[in-house]
């Protein structure tokens, strides 16, 4: 465990790609609410925690990775050991114990295991998450199911970053649909590195918000 926690901290100290740098450059502070969907061992969450000390929530369905993430972040985040999804269920996950672990059936070889999924709207209500300043999503293909469901239920982060995966969307139809949905809800793209990582922003409220009194825009 100590080696894995050390690896998480080492990864957080590394800016490997241009999109890694852009992913942590946001106007956040201690009153901001940040959600990491698919946190793995906590590299990005650690970077955000160290820079801004926000109210940070991490969702990771692999129990061992969630445990590492909890140990690495300590009291700086609430780490939940399940994935966010379109329903409450226990689902087969493929490529278990890797950073490519996914609820999407694509890989026919490699380890499989059952992971817990909880419906995103119900989960946020229970955790009293009513406003999100920044959401990061890296869930290995399941984004094509979760994002439309999330938007359809009125969960609209002020800022959203997504890593898209083309193995379940080779003709870009699902990607195009999501781009159109986001544009229709008032999102624009401040920067994009294609499927590696793309960011969206909505028009923000002018009045400052206080901790514990979050209002969705």
CATH number at residue 21: 3.40.50
Q: Is residue 120 part of a domain?
A: yes
| Lowest-pLDDT choice from 26-35, 74-83, 207-216 | 207-216
Instruction: Determine the distance from the C-alpha atom of residue 146 to the mean position of all C-alpha atoms in its chain, rounded to a whole number.
Output: 11
Q: Is residue 213 part of a domain?
A: no
Structure confidence by residue, pLDDT tens digits, 118-165 = 999 999 999 999 999 999 999 988 999 999 999 999 999 999 999 998
Q: Is residue 214 part of a domain?
A: no
pLDDT band at 206 (very low <50, low <70, confident <90, very high): very low
Structure confidence by residue, pLDDT tens digits, 19-78 = 999 999 999 999 999 999 999 999 999 999 999 999 999 999 999 999 999 999 999 999
Q: What sign results for the dihedral spanned by CA atoms 129, 131, 136, 142?
A: positive
What pLDDT, on the 0 to 100 scale, is given for residue 216?
Answer: 45
Q: Is residue 136 part of a domain?
A: no
pLDDT at 214 over 60: no
Q: 54-89: buried (b, 16+ CB within 10 Å) or exposed (e) per residue? A: bbbbbbbbbeebbbbbbbbbeebbebbbbbbbbeee
β partners of residue 200: 160
CA 47-58-136 angle, to 5 degrees, is: 65
Number of H helices, E strands in the chain: 7, 10
pLDDT at 212 over 50: no
Q: Is residue 45 part of a domain?
A: yes
Q: Is residue 162 part of a domain?
A: yes
Kindly report the pTM of this predicted structure.
Answer: 0.89
Q: Is residue 185 part of a domain?
A: yes
Q: How many domains does the chain have?
A: 1
Q: Is residue 73 part of a domain?
A: yes
Q: Which residue range forms the structural domain that includes residue 177?
A: 2-131+141-201
Instruction: Determine the distance from the C-alpha atom of residue 11 to the mean position of all C-alpha atoms in its chain, rounded to a whole number.
Output: 17
Considering only CA atoms, which of 191, 193, 142, 182 is closest in space to residue 158? 182
Structure confidence by residue, pLDDT tens digits, 154-186 = 999 999 999 998 877 888 999 999 999 999 999
């Amino acid at each position: 465990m100590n080696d894995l926690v050390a690896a998480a901290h080492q990864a957080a100290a590394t800016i490997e790609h241009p999109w890694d740098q852009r992913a942590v450059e946001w106007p956040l502070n201690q009153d901001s609410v940040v959600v990491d969907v698919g946190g793995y061992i906590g590299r990005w969450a650690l970077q955000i925690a160290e820079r801004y000390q926000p109210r940070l929530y991490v969702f990771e369905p692999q129990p061992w990775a969630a445990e590492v993430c909890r140990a690495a972040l300590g009291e700086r985040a609430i780490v939940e050991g399940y994935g966010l999804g379109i329903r409450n269920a226990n689902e087969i996950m493929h490529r278990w114990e890797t950073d490519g672990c996914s609820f999407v059936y694509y890989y026919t070889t490699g380890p499989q295991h059952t992971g817990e999924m909880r419906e995103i709207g119900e989960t946020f209500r229970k955790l009293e998450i009513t406003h999100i300043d920044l959401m990061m999503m890296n869930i290995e293909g399941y984004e094509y199911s979760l994002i439309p469901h999330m938007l359809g239920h009125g969960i609209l982060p002020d800022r959203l970053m997504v890593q898209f995966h083309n193995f379940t969307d080779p003709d870009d139809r699902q990607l195009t649909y999501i781009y159109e949905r986001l544009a229709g809800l008032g999102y624009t793209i401040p920067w994009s590195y294609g499927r590696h990582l793309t960011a969206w922003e909505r028009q923000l409220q002018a009045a400052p918000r206080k901790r514990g009194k979050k209002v969705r825009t």
